[in-house]
Structure 1
C-alpha cells in the first residue's frame, strides 16, 4: 500500500507535466540527440565509477542462516500482526518519547516487558545476529513496485529495546541496561541492509531512539561513574555513523532502472501499478498519444538531470557538514531554478519527484552524530565530577573531546547552578542551549544536568 501511495503521488503530477511538455517543448532531432548523449554520458560515468545502473545488481548473496537477522524480522512482523500489543502493552512499541516516563508509564512498561516476553526474545535474537538480508526483490523490473516490508518492525523493535532497557535501569541494573540499550545500534545497522534512502532514515531513527535511551540511563544513574564509562564505551564501540552516500548510490541505481523500465513500458506504466488499466482517467488517455521519440527524449532529458544531480550529491554527501551543506544547498537551488522556470515546471517534473531531499537528510544525520557525541561528553563530565566533586568551568579540563560535527569546532558548554548544559549550535548555527524552563526542539542537540523540569514533564513549558 505504501508503495502504491508513493507511486500515485509521483504519477499524478507527471501526467499533467507530460501533457504540457508536449505543447511547450517540440522535440527536434538535434535536441533528441543532445539529451540522449547527455544521458548516456551519465550512465557511462556511473559505470566507470563502479556504481551499478541496473537494480538487479544490488542483490547480495544471502548470509549464512545462523548469521542472518532477516528471517527473524519476518517473525517479529508476524508476531506483531498476530498478537498486537494490548492497551497496557502499547507503551512497549510506542516508547517513552523525549521525556522521562511517569510512574504509571514505568509500571505499564514493566508489566509489558513481562507480558511480551516472546516478542522480546525474537528482537534479542535479531539483534544478536551480525548480518541481515531483508529479502528485498531487487530483480523486480519496476523499482516502484519493490516492497520494503520490514522497516516498521525494525523501528518498533528499537523502541521495545529502549523500554526494556529503561525498565532494567529503573531497577538499578545499569550494566545490563546499557548493554541491552546498545542493541539498538545493531538494529540500526540491520536497517541499512535495505540500502535505500528509506533504510537510511530508519537507521537514523533507530540510532536516535537508542541515544535517547542512553540519555535516560545517564539520568537514572545519577552520575554513577561506572555507568557513565559504560555508556561511553557502548557508544564508541557500537554506534556507527551512517553514510548518506551509500543511500544515494542506491537511489542512482533505482532511478536509472526506473527510467529504462519506463522507456520500454511507456507512459501508461506509471499508472498501471496504482490503477485499474481498464478504467483509464482522461490524463492517462492523453498520455497514450505521446509518441515514442518524444517519450524517449523526455526520459533522457530528466534522466540526465537526475543522474547528474544524484551523482554530485553522492560525491559530497559524506564530507564534513561545513563543506557539504553549502554545496548541497547550491545543488537544491540549481534544481529549483531549473524546475521552477516556465518550461521547467513541465520539463523536469519527473526529476523533481524522483530526487530525495539530500540537504535535509544530511542535516538529520549530522544531528544524530552530534547527539552521540553530546551524550558521550556529558558522561565524561559526570565522571570528572565524581573525581573533583564539581563540574569544570570549561571543557579544557577534558582533553581529546570529539568535535561538533556541525562546525568541526568544540561543543558549547556552560555551568548552570550546580549543573551544566552542553550543546551544539545546530544546523542554523543559532541555538544557544536554551534554558532549564523550556524544552528544546527535537533537532536541537543538547544535554542539561541535573534533569530539567521539562524532561520530567512531557508537556513543553512555554
Structure 2
C-alpha cells in the first residue's frame, strides 16, 4: 500500500536554532545596510565663481611680496595703551619706510583699477598666507598717511588713509569669514588716524573725502555674504574630509588629536562617547546638519541687527558641535565697522559744510544732496539715520550702538578696563551699553 511523503517534525531545539540563525542573518543584513548608510560618502554642489581678469587679488599679492621691513612697519604702528601709535617714531623714519616700499605701494594702487575677488576656498587644506601681507599693506598705507600729515598735508594723508579703508573693504570679497575679519582689521588701520586730520581739512578736501568714503562704503561685503562663502567652503572641505578620513578621523583632527599616535593606547574616556555616537551618525547627516545650521545663520544675518534674532541651535552630532561656530561677536564687529564708516562720512561732510558756511547744519538732512548723496542710516537701529545735534562748541554725532537704545549721545565706556588698558576704555562689544559717538568710540 502506497504511503505519502513523510512529514518532518522539528524538535523544539531545531526550531530555536533555525530562528536564531534567521535572526543572525537578518541582523547581519540590517547591519550591512546600516553600515552602508552611515558610511555613504556625501556629495555637495557648491558654486565656483568666475574670477575677474585681471583680478586685483594678483596685484595685491605681488604688492605684498614686494614689501620690505615688515616687522619695522608693524612696530611703527603698534600702540601701547595710553601712547598713540607711531608717537615714538621720528618723521624721517616713517618717510624712510614709505620710500623703501614705493614699489609695493605702486603695485598695490595699480590693482585698485581692477575688480577684486578672493580665489574660492574649497578644501580644509586651503591656506591664506597672503592675509598677513595684506594687513602689512594696510599698515604701510597708514604710515604713508602719517608721514604726509607730519609734513602738513592733511588732504594727502586722508587720501592714504582712505586707500587703506578701500583695501580693507575689498579684501573680504569672495572670501570666507577669516577674510571678512582681516578686512575689518585693515579698514580700522586706515580709519582710526583719519579722524585726526578731519579738523585740518579745507572744504574741498573734506568734500572729496566724504564723497570717496561714501563710495567705498557702498562696496561693503555683507556679513551674510561672508557667511555664505564660509558655508560653501566648509561644505566642500567637510565632504572631502569625510570621504577621506571618515567622521571619527575628522573628529580626531578637530579635537587636536585624541591621543599621541606614537604612544598608541585606547581613546581617552572623556571623548569616547562622541566616537560611539558617530558610529550611528551618517556622514550625510553630519553635512546636512551643517548646511541647515549655516542656512539659518545666513538668513539671520540678512535681517537688521536690531531684530536680535536668536542664534540657531547647534546640531547635536559631535563633528558639528566642534565645527559649527557662533558668529555673534564677529557680526558686531562688522556692523560697528559700518557705523564707523558712516560716522566718518558725515563728519567729513559736516567739516565741508562748516568750512563753506561758517556753521554746522541744524539737521543732517541739510547735507544731502550737496555734501552727501544721502544721510547714512544707523546700522544698529531698526530704522532711521545717525543721531545728531548741535552744541555750543560743535556737535554730537552718534549711533545708538549694539543695545539699540538712544542714550542721547552718552558714549559706550568701560572705566574699569580703562584703568589698566586706556586704549580699550571706549571699545564696543556685543553687550556694550551706551552710544557709539563720533570721535570717541573710534575703531
Instruction: Please give the TM-score of this superposition, normalised by the length of structure 2.
Output: 0.71
Q: CA deviation at 1:98?
A: 9.7
Aligned to 2:94: 112
Whether 1:312 and 2:296 are equivalent positions in the alignment is: yes
Aligned to 2:395: 420
Identify which of 238, 244, 249 aligns with 1:268.
249
Range that drifts further, 267-276 or 372-381: 267-276
**Residues 100 and 216 in structure 1, CA contact (< 8 A), matched pair in contact too:** no
Whether 1:302 and 2:286 are equivalent positions in the alignment is: yes
With over 3 angstroms needed to count, the CA separation of the structure-2 counterparts of 1:435 and 1:181, relative to structure 1, is closer
Q: CA deviation at 1:375?
A: 1.0
Whether 1:445 and 2:436 are equivalent positions in the alignment is: yes
Whether 1:75 and 2:65 are equivalent positions in the alignment is: yes
Q: CA deviation at 1:402?
A: 1.7
Identify which of 319, 334, 345 aligns with 1:365.
334
Identify which of 361, 380, 384 aligns with 1:406.
380
1: CA distance, partners of 2:59 / 2:322? 33
With over 3 angstroms needed to count, the CA separation of the structure-2 counterparts of 1:178 and 1:97, relative to structure 1, is farther
Aligned to 2:321: 352
Identify which of 423, 426, 433 aligns with 2:409.
433
With over 3 angstroms needed to count, the CA separation of the structure-2 counterparts of 1:100 and 1:409, relative to structure 1, is farther
With over 3 angstroms needed to count, the CA separation of the structure-2 counterparts of 1:190 and 1:114, relative to structure 1, is same
Identify which of 154, 173, 180 aligns with 2:160.
180
2: CA distance, partners of 1:301 / 1:367? 36
With over 3 angstroms needed to count, the CA separation of the structure-2 counterparts of 1:288 and 1:320, relative to structure 1, is closer
Whether 1:224 and 2:202 are equivalent positions in the alignment is: yes
Aligned to 1:121: 103
**Residues 178 and 214 in structure 1, CA contact (< 8 A), matched pair in contact too:** yes
2: CA distance, partners of 1:360 / 1:402? 23
SS in structure 2 of the partner of residue 69 of structure 1: helix
Number of aligned residue pairs:
378
Q: CA deviation at 1:193?
A: 4.9
Unaligned runs of at least 5 residues, structure 1: 1-27, 340-346, 456-462
Identify which of 126, 129, 135 aligns with 1:146.
126
Q: CA deviation at 1:71?
A: 3.6
2: CA distance, partners of 1:133 / 1:70? 11
Deviations 1:183-234 (A, max 9, x none): 2134224522561100011112222222223222213x1x522221121022
Deviations 1:73-105 (A, max 9, x none): 5514xx55xx4534xx55435379998657x43
Range that drifts further, 229-238 or 418-427: 229-238
With over 3 angstroms needed to count, the CA separation of the structure-2 counterparts of 1:124 and 1:237, relative to structure 1, is farther
Deviations 1:334-384 (A, max 9, x none): 41xx66xxxxxxx43422332243333332222111111111111222222
Identify which of 189, 210, 228 aligns with 1:249.
228
Identify which of 317, 327, 351 aligns with 1:382.
351
1: CA distance, partners of 2:34 / 2:230? 25
Aligned to 1:171: 151
**Residues 414 and 421 in structure 1, CA contact (< 8 A), matched pair in contact too:** yes
**Residues 168 and 176 in structure 1, CA contact (< 8 A), matched pair in contact too:** yes
SS in structure 2 of the partner of residue 176 of structure 1: helix
Q: CA deviation at 1:263?
A: 2.9
Whether 1:199 and 2:176 are equivalent positions in the alignment is: no
With over 3 angstroms needed to count, the CA separation of the structure-2 counterparts of 1:289 and 1:364, relative to structure 1, is closer
CA RMSD of aligned residues (A): 4.1
Unaligned runs of at least 5 residues, structure 2: 1-29, 369-373, 416-424, 430-434
Instruction: Please give the TM-score of this superposition, normalised by the length of structure 1.
Output: 0.68
In terms of Rg, which structure is larger?
2
SS in structure 1 of the partner of residue 90 of structure 2: helix
Following superposition of structure 1 onto structure 2, how do residues 80-95 of structure 1 map, counting pairs within 5 Å?
83-86=69-72, 90-94=74-78
**Residues 255 and 354 in structure 1, CA contact (< 8 A), matched pair in contact too:** no
Asked which structure has the greater RCO (Cα within 8 Å, sep 6+), the reply is 1
SS in structure 1 of the partner of residue 171 of structure 2: helix
